[in-house]
Amino acid sequence: MNYIAKNTSKETEQKRCCTFLIENTCFAFEADNVTEVLQKGIINSVPLSPPAISGLINIRGRIVPAIDLRVFLEFPAAPTGINSISLIVDINNEWYCFLVDKLLDVKAYDPHQVTPPTNNTLRALTGVL
């Protein structure tokens, strides 16, 4: 099952998404929203922040929150030795750093094949492909 994050731009016939893994589950952000991919970055912790917030990362002078999607989506903790990949994503002109296990590929999909989510808990979720 692939999960695709919402983009607020108008739909066209074919869209592209950047796919990645958390645990063994494939997720995706619309490729137009992914601005950068980082192998390593210095994440500065923020005291008293929620568990899913790993900290803040400096991207060329821009301070960006780093969100551990494993924690946010309630997956088990990563095994020792797994190095997270940082996806820098622009959502409504705000940058976020999402920590994922593995970057897969950029794939094309038909927006008409996306099934809307069954609940409204994740406002950023477009649907399931």
Please enumerate in sequence order all residues whose Cβ is within 8 A of that of 117, keeping only pairs 6 or more positions apart, or say none. Answer: 125, 126, 127, 128
3-state secondary structure of 76: coil
Tell me the per-residue pLDDT of 9-31, one tens digit each, with 9 for 90 and over.
554 578 899 999 998 888 888 89
pTM of the shown model: 0.80
Tally Cβ neighbours within 10 Å of residue 104: 13
Q: Where are the domains of the chain?
A: 2-128
- At 34, which helix (H) or strand (E)? strand 34-38
Q: Which CATH number fits domain 2-128: 2.40.50.180, 3.40.50.720, 3.90.226.10, 3.40.50.300?
A: 2.40.50.180
- Which residue stretches of the chain have pLDDT < 70? 1-12, 81, 117-129
pLDDT value of residue 120: 57
pLDDT value of residue 62: 95
pLDDT value of residue 11: 47
Separation between Cα atoms, residue 17 and residue 101, nearest integer Å? 17
